[in-house]
Chains A and B, each alone.
Chain A
Amino acid sequence: MSTSQNPLAATLAPVATPARDGVMLRILIVLGGFVAIAAVPIAFASSYQLFQLTLAATYAIAILGLNIVTGFNGQISLGHGAFYAVGAYTTAILMTHFDVPYWATLPIAAAICGVIGFGIGFPALRLGGLYLALTTFAVAVAVPQILKYKGVEDWTGGVQGTFLVKPDAPEFTGLDNDQYLYLFVLVIAALLFLMAANLLHSRIGRAMRSIRDNPIAAEAMGMDIARIKTRTFALSAAITGLAGALSAIAVEFVAPDSFSVELSINLFVGMVVGGVGSIVGPIFGGLFVVFVPNLAESIARAAPGVIYGVILILFLYLLPQGFAGFPRRIGALLRQRSQG
């Protein structure tokens, strides 16, 4: 397992340090810089490439949600695809049946997933470790079938799914729809990662990690385990649900088979590859989940699964602490060199 000691914590620390002078400015610079760098592909990438990057950003957000509950709080979820699905369907139903503007569906999707996550958080208190993993896994198995259920077909579109319309870019931006949506998702991702960084460096984030490391001592320090764990689960579900909502807008389509168990597993893989308990890890995780399967297919069209597996094993072998542990590993290697 990775730890809170990821090397990027130092980079992010100034955001959470008490010196308040110019903090807002610094936050804006960090956020602006992040969005600016990530937005560079708008200038030259094709529509399809931008679409893939948009998806990677939504996965990064979803993995951030998963990492908060699993990486930082130690509650293993193998079913976060379910929240992604609920978020996506919430947006699809609101947009197609109620004509709610795309941006207004996002807080609603997050709120609904947050409430469901809070509800799951209570039984989760009694189900430690692997039992919780299997229970959440069962939820992920059930969700696609629930979405196909005849009784809700009028809303969900049943097996066929539902199409929605990609929002038009506002005139003043001068961007086409794909470029605009990519930028929109980037800005939301930046805000969410910033808030997550604030939270995880605060007393609440410290309590999450304390409970993960040693619940008995955490309680003696005055931490209300039930309260923090259920709220963490709710927050995690809300973030992942918001990611699902964004994905529905980007894909312009929702169908039960897009939210199979594989999705939950992919999110988990993305979390581990990016770095368990790392704040920036999910960014790498999102990119991995979208691009590595494509890469595998371009290497061997006949057996992309095998190539994907090999790449995954190589990653875990070479970067046991995920991408986020990479700079530290390099540092350690260099030190060894200079000493040897």
Chain B
Amino acid sequence: MTDAALLEVRDIVVRFGGVTAVGGVSFTVEDQQICGLIGPNGAGKTTLFNCISGIYRPNEGEIRFAGSTVTGQPKHRMIGLGIGRTFQNLALFKTLSVRDNVLAGAHHLGRAGFLACGLHLPWVGREAAALGAEAQRLMAMLDLESVAEVPVASLPFGTQKRVEMARALIGQPRLLLLDEPAGGLNHGEVDELAGLLRRVREEFRLSILLVEHHMNLVMSVSDKVVALDFGKKIAEGTPFEVRNNDDVIAAYLGEAPHDRAA
């Protein structure tokens, strides 16, 4: 089992009515690898991403994580298995403070239930203190300490993105799914993000699966890139290999290869 990949996507098929959004895609993500998932609009990236994060259930195929099947698991189990995520257009708890948002990411690490919390039993306090310290550390790392008590809705977009990253990291994922993390960021912020992703991978020893339109980011941080088009995998390899793949170039430049011209 030790040499098996952390994430194995096997022959995934997703159909919406008569439309096949993903038509039999397989790939793997290794431990502590950064994998970029690219493709033009409508290629099936987001659909595939939603299968891995448990939002969609594929019609066919299987997704295995750390040696066990995750397809069909309830959504709230995913983080407990070690799969954390961020969202494309931010999905923060908007009235909650930055600190509470980050702590919400540690929900699955806590054990205290309604009664224990209501009575504030001593061990509940210790549990909360340990997670509170971890939240503090992550807020420091992501430069959020000065806004810790501010409701997230009133913060700038880039800051909110960092909150979402802190919220995902505190859950101790082994695989972090990032849905267009560069969306809405300016040039400088994208560079910072690239640095952050590398640093996060080192410090937290996790794998990252990145769905992204921003080619420079994908090509600069990924160890491996998987390219999709029309629901099929058209290329997989190092950023260099994928960038120079004829099918990928054709897909992006809109020049369809002959066999797809129907």
Are A222 and B80 CB-contacts (below 8 A) given A199-B117, A206-B100? yes
In the complex, how many angstroms separate the beta carbon of A233 from the nearest chain B beta carbon? 12
Cβ-defined contact, B104 with A206, below 8 A = yes
5 residue pairs from A and B, CB less than 8 Å apart: A18-B125, A203-B107, A206-B103, A210-B107, A222-B108
| Chain B window 106-128, contacts with chain A (Cβ cutoff 8 Å), 1 for yes, 0 for no | 11101011100111101011101
Binds B, one of A81-89, A177-185, A211-219: A211-219
Residues of A within 8 A of B119 (CB): 195, 198
A-binding segment of B57-65, B71-79, B193-201, B226-234? B71-79
Instruction: Say yes or no for A229: interface residue by CB 8 A criterion.
Output: no
With contact pairs A18-B125, A206-B96 given, residues A217 and B76 touching in the complex (Cβ less than 8 Å): no
Q: Are A218 and B117 in contact (CB under 8 A)?
A: no
| B96 in contact with A210 (CB, 8 Å) | yes
Q: Is the CB of B117 within 8 A of A205?
A: yes
A217-B120 in contact given A20-B125, A222-B108 (Cβ < 8 Å): no
Interface membership of B151, Cβ < 8 A? yes
**Contact residues in A for B167 (Cβ distance below 8 Å):** 221
Given contacts A18-B129, A195-B119, is CB(A220)–CB(B79) below 8 Å?
A: yes
Task: Contact check, B113 vs A204: say whether CB atoms are below 8 A apart.
Answer: yes
Count of chain B residues with Cβ under 8 Å from any Cβ of A? 45
Nearest CB on A from B153, distance (A): 9
Most central of B75, B114, B120 by chain A CB within 10 Å: B120
B56 within 8 A of A: no
Q: Is A196 an interface residue (CB 8 A)?
A: yes
B97 at the interface (CB under 8 A from A): yes
Task: Report yes or no: B95 in contact with A220, Cβ–Cβ below 8 A.
Answer: no
Q: Does B23 contact A (CB under 8 A)?
A: no
What is the size category of the interface that chain A forms with chain B?
Answer: 35 or more
| Interface residues as binary, A226-245 with B (CB distance below 8 Å gives 1, 0 otherwise) | 00000100010000000000
A222/B151 in contact, CB under 8 A:
no
Q: State which of B53, B103, B129, B131 has its C-beta within 8 Å of the C-beta of A220.
A: B53
In the bound complex, do residue B97 and residue A207 qualify as a contact, i.e. CB atoms below 8 Å apart?
Answer: no
Q: Is the CB of B92 within 8 A of A198?
A: no
> Taking the complex as formed, is A16 at the interface, i.e. its CB lies under 8 A from any CB of chain B?
yes
Question: Contact check: which of A3, A217, A231 meets B95 at CB < 8 Å?
Answer: A3
Question: Could you say which residues of chain B place their CB within 8 Å of the CB of A217?
Answer: 87, 91-93
Residues of A within 8 A of B74 (CB): 224
Beta-carbon contact of B128 and A223 below 8 Å: no
The minimal Cβ–Cβ distance linking A223 to chain B, given in whole angstroms, is 5
Cβ-defined contact, A199 with B107, below 8 A: no
With A209-B93, A222-B108 as contacts: A18 and B76 at CB distance below 8 Å: no
Supposing A18-B128, A210-B104, A220-B79 touch, asked if A204 and B114 sit within 8 A by C-beta, the answer is yes
Is B171 interfacial (CB 8 A cutoff)? Answer: yes
Judge if A160 is at the interface, Cβ distance under 8 Å.
no
Specify which of B104, B132, B151 is in contact with A207 (CB 8 Å cutoff): B104
The 8 closest A-B pairs by CB, nearest first: A222-B108, A18-B129, A202-B117, A217-B91, A213-B93, A3-B95, A195-B118, A198-B120
A15 to B120, CA, bound (A): 9
Q: Does A49 have its Cβ within 8 Å of any Cβ on chain B?
A: no
- Is A4 at the interface (CB under 8 A from chain B)? yes
Complex Cα spacing A199 to B91, Å: 24
Asked whether A31 is an interface residue with its Cβ less than 8 Å from the other chain, the reply is no
Known: A5-B97, A214-B93, A221-B79. A231 touches B114 (CB 8 A): yes
With both beta carbons as reference points, the residue of chain B lying nearest to A219 in the complex is identified as: B75
Which of chain B's residues has its CB closest to A232's CB? B114
Q: How far is the CB of A64 from chain B (nearest CB, A)?
A: 12
Q: Which residues of B contact A23 (CB under 8 A)?
A: 120, 125
A235 CA to B110 CA, complexed, in Å:
20
Complex alpha-carbon distance, A17 and B126, angstroms: 9
A23-B122 Cα distance, complex, nearest whole Å: 10
Given contacts A203-B107, A210-B107, A221-B105, 5 further A-B contacts (CB under 8 A): A18-B125, A18-B129, A204-B114, A221-B79, A222-B76
Q: Which of A198, A213, A219 contacts B117 (CB 8 A)?
A: A198
Indicate if the CB atoms of B118 and A214 lie closer than 8 Å: no
Within 8 A of A (CB), among B202-251: none
- Can you name the residue of chain A whose Cβ is closest to the Cβ of B90? A217
A20–B55 Cα gap in the complex (Å)? 41
Q: Is B15 an interface residue (CB 8 A)?
A: no
Q: How far is the CB of A62 from chain B (nearest CB, A)?
A: 18
Cβ A5 vs Cβ B103 within 8 A? no
- Of all chain A residues, which has the CB nearest B120? A198
Please tell me if A225 contacts chain B, counting CB pairs below 8 Å: yes
